[in-house]
Structure formats: C-alpha cells, structure tokens
Amino acid sequence: MLRFTQVQYRYPSTEALSLPDWEAAQGEHWLLLGASGSGKTTMLQLAAGLLTPTAGTVEVAEQRLASLSGRTLDRFRGQRIGIVFQTLHLVSALTVEQNLRLAQYLAGLPQDSERITEVLEPLGIAHKRKRRPHQLSQGEAQRVALARAVLNRPSVLLADEPTSALDDRSCEQVAKLLLSQARACGATLVIATHDARLGRYIPQQLQLEAAA
Ligand SMILES: Nc1ncnc2c1ncn2[C@@H]1O[C@H](COP(=O)(O)OP(=O)(O)OP(=O)(O)O)[C@@H](O)[C@H]1O
Ligand SMILES: [Mg+2]
C-alpha cells in the first residue's frame, strides 16, 4: 500500500536525508520512530505527496506519487490519503461541518452530509458541528482533524506526533481512536512519534537513524 524505494530528500542548502527502504501492506499499523531531526515529518510528507523525493520513489496503492501533479495529485491525496498534522490545519473561518465539506470538495467528491455525521458521531463531536475551531477544546479540535482525515475513507492514514503533548489517559484515547478509525476504513496507519508509550498499541515499528 505504501512503498519507499531508495528515497532521498534534500532541503535547500542542506545535506540529503536518506530514508530506509520500507513497505507497509494494506491494513497494517506502523510507528515511525526516531530522534528529533531524523526525518519523521519529512517521511510523512513524502508519503502524502506534499514533498517530492530528490531521488528514489514513493508509491501509494501502486501509484508513483511523482508521476502525478497539480489537481490530479490533490484529488488522489484527497481520496486516498488522510493526514493528521501536529498543528491541526483546520480552517478557522469555517465551522466543523464546513471544514469537512471542504475536504470532500477538494477531493472532487460529492457533498455527503450523511458521511459527515457518520464520522463525527463515534468521535463524540456531532453536536459541535456548527462550531468554529476556536470554540472547541484542544482534544475536540484534534478529533475534528481526525474526522477530516478519515472522512473520504483513505487507504493510508498518516498522523504526525498526535500524542506527544498528552497525558497518559488522553494518549491512550487518541491511540485507540486512530486504530479504530484506521480499522473502520481498512487503512494502513502510520504514526510518526518519539512517544514510546505508543509502542504498547502498535508493535510494528520503523526506526529512523539520527542524521549524521
Ligand atoms: N524546511 C526545512 N529546511 C531545511 N531543513 C529542514 C526543513 N525541515 C526540516 N529540515 C531538516 O531535515 C531533517 C529532518 O527533519 P524532520 O522535521 O523530518 O525531523 P523529525 O524526525 O520530524 O523531527 P521532530 O521529532 O523534531 O519533529 C532535520 O535535520 C531538519 O533540520
Ligand atoms: Mg517532526
């Protein structure tokens, strides 16, 4: 479902970051571990097609991301890949419901209110659908970001440091939500983190080496 082959990425005026060859099958759950600066966020952004590798290939569902561009890539990402960023990237001028409608629109999918209710309800936030992000608690906003990530039933669900700032109880809740949402759409789940507590929930792990 997700394959990295000989991937390197070089930010301007830095040395290239080499990433390990790696393959995650459909429905598998992975932790992406490594010290700060080892490339976890970079690897997620490459997996989402938000960055293009300087060398090597990244494939999602047998599709080489670098061969897509512009609107085709945006739609592919919108339909196949769900992302929960560390800073949640909700649109502050829009309500919860409008944020989710936007995600359907950007993926080129029809408006589907029933599906929106279907994702908000199990996350316990359906009654907050008319609120704007600043009218939500941090945990509620995080669940909205998770709802948006799974809305279009992605094949791959990516989360960047979803639990680092949380206490043990919230950490467990978020881990279980990510797992249950990934299972509900049969998605491959990849969580980038340096939070060792998550190892208890997700045994398959890819360790990135610290940059030289
Ligand atoms: N925009 C950028 N420009 C230049 N270098 C960058 C940029 N973003 C990241 N890097 C460098 O690339 C490397 C990998 O960064 P990345 O953010 O992927 O690490 P990370 O494992 O996610 O770290 P953290 O645990 O701190 O989030 C680091 O050496 C970092 O300094
Ligand atoms: Mg990071």
Q: Taking the domains of the chain in order of start, what are their residue ranges? A: 2-12+25-207
pLDDT value at residue 166: 81
The CATH code of the domain at 2-12+25-207 is 3.40.50.300
Nearest to 132 by CA among 117, 119, 144: 144
Residue nearest to atom 25 of ligand 1 (CA): 36
Ligand 2 is a single-atom ion; what residues have CB below 5 A from it?
40-41
Q: How would you write the pLDDT of the chain (212 residues) with one tens digit per residue? A: 999 999 999 999 999 999 999 999 999 999 999 999 999 999 999 999 999 999 999 999 999 999 999 999 999 999 999 999 988 999 999 999 999 999 999 999 999 999 999 999 988 999 999 999 999 998 899 999 999 999 999 999 999 999 887 889 888 988 998 999 999 999 999 999 989 899 999 999 999 988 66
Radius of gyration of the chain, Cα coordinates, nearest whole angstrom: 17
**Cα–Cα distance list, 111 to 37, 59, 100, 107 (Å):** 39, 28, 9, 10
Decide: 193 and 41 in contact? Cβ < 8 Å.
no
194: Cβ below 6 Å to ligand 1? Answer: yes
First-residue to last-residue Cα distance in the chain = 30
Residue nearest to atom 16 of ligand 1 (CA): 39
Element (H, E) at 56: strand 55-60
pLDDT value at residue 212: 60
Residue nearest to atom 7 of ligand 1 (CA): 11
Residue nearest to atom 29 of ligand 1 (CA): 37
34: Cβ below 6 Å to ligand 1? Answer: yes
Gap between the Cα atoms of 4 and 39, Å rounded: 14
Atom number in ligand 1 closest to CA 211: 29
